[in-house]
Chain A
């Protein structure tokens, strides 16, 4: 087990507001980690910094011991909290695109999952329901054999059955050497699959613990502990 993600004194400031305030944490490889916090707590900011979509104000980020470069982009598979594939694209276009740019993309695996959902290569993204679009993006992201998967709110805004599908897709495509970082505020749905949780509020990390430890220490579910810690 080695450190896959390392953050040291990471800060992101917008004017006077701190989206991330002096965050230091480390995540090992081979874990499924939940980044839990209310809306606006800095979860998405942290993930975007890992993916080089936002530049930090100060501090250091290392992926597998190396600073952020083009190589680290190849190691990370990112599922954003929004649709980023063009509306005019066909499913086949999206698959070709991923296959073209990512050498670790498993085309047959993606095709398999899409077939099971009856999503055809000729379907356009414009014509899909929101749930189907999200599943498509998830399938593309999870079909890559990456070292780090960053899933930003993968189950928000979808029905319970779709949530089950999404969670089982995540589990079924999980590589024991990889790390999956899931940011969400829907905790009870995901806590059974998490190894570790990180609680984050207003840009600061409140705690980082294994799920088992949290349950043993508190005799309660993570969801329950979260509600207590984040009581308004």
Chain B
């Protein structure tokens, strides 16, 4: 049943999202080709064109990100809490399946969107830059690896986990806001937005607090200072590595717990507090 729901979620959302991301990629290729023209031609005209291009590119870049999210959240809201809910909620599927189908589709397209954003940067930069850009990846990983004393592959996996958990946290928080909004008898969408704003404020504050705390935790250990007060070269692996591990683990746990809490509320509202007009 979950697969079936997923199939239909994909079927009814892929086209628009594909166009959006495709447009971004095409435009970045256009930019790469156009950049060759920059050398020739009138300086002023080229500057104006380049400026316009950058403007449009930035709009497309940020726009694809925001629009992808809006399209997917709107799907959740429409399917769950408007007339389309008459169809969805009378299907012989569990509430969990309904939410997970939306989540998986959402996560999938968010990852595709991020991939397209990265690809668009690559395309815009042009093949000439690729060797340099791709070299950045192993360089970064080995730097991290040296500092933390952990195998690069583990770094990659850890990074991946962090991304997935962070995105889960974000997506479930959106579903949470919509679910809370649906509890209001009228102006559900506005209520959802207000919930989001409040939640965003709370999360930002909590993240800031956590970051500050982490810095304090680490600060003591990065640099070893001689009794004479002269800092010496960094030690590899850094003594801060262990602390970093703790910070990472706690951070991941918080993201996981937050995601679970948001999921729990969304589930409860859809299961026990449903009141379709």
Binding site for B on A (CB under 8 A): 14, 48, 51-55, 70-71, 73-74, 76, 78, 80, 82-86, 88, 97, 100-102
Contacts and interface: CB of A to CB of B under 8 A. Distances in A.
B239 interface: no
A149 to B, nearest CB: 12
Contacts of A14: 185
B83 A82 contact: yes
B131 interface: no
B187 interface: no
Given A101-B93, A102-B92, A53 B86 contact: yes
B92 A53 contact: no
Nearest to B1: A101
A101 B88 CA distance: 10
Contact of B274 (A53, A74, A97, A102): A53
Contacts of B85: 53
16 contacts: A53-B85, A53-B86, A53-B274, A53-B276, A55-B273, A55-B275, A71-B92, A73-B92, A78-B90, A80-B86, A82-B83, A84-B86, A86-B84, A101-B1, A101-B91, A102-B92
Contact of A74 (B4, B83, B86, B92): B92
Contacts of B87: 84-85
B272 A86 contact: no
Contacts of A97: 8
Interface size class on chain B is 20 to 34
B86 A82 contact: yes
A54 B274 contact: yes
Given A70-B94, A84-B83, A84-B84, A52 B89 contact: yes
B175 to A, nearest CB: 19
A102 to B, nearest CB: 7
B12 interface: yes
Which of B91, B92, B185, B275 has the most C-beta atoms of chain A within 10 angstroms of its own C-beta?
Answer: B92
A54 B276 contact: yes
A207 B241 CA distance: 77
A84 B85 CA distance: 8
Contact of B4 (A70, A80, A85, A101): A101
B275 A54 contact: yes
Interface in B18-36: none
Q: Which 6 A-B pairs have the closest CB atoms?
A: A74-B92, A84-B86, A53-B276, A73-B92, A84-B87, A80-B86
A71 B91 CA distance: 10
Contacts of B83: 82-84
Contacts of A102: 92
Interface string B91-108: 111100000000000000
A7 B276 CA distance: 20
A106 B163 CA distance: 45
A76 B12 CA distance: 26
Contacts of B94: 70
Interface string B241-277: 0000000000000000000000000000000111110
A63 to B, nearest CB: 13
Contacts of A88: 12
A148 to B, nearest CB: 12
Contacts of A85: 87
Given A53-B85, A54-B274, A54-B276, A70 B92 contact: yes
A71 B92 CA distance: 7
A228 B93 CA distance: 44
A73 B274 contact: no
Nearest to A86: B84
Contacts of B86: 53, 78, 80, 82, 84
Given A14-B185, A52-B89, A101-B91, 20 more contacts: A52-B274, A53-B89, A53-B275, A53-B276, A54-B274, A55-B272, A55-B273, A70-B93, A71-B92, A73-B90, A73-B92, A82-B86, A84-B86, A84-B87, A86-B12, A86-B84, A100-B4, A100-B8, A101-B1, A101-B92
Contacts of A71: 92
A53 B274 CA distance: 6
A111 to B, nearest CB: 20
Contacts of B275: 53-55
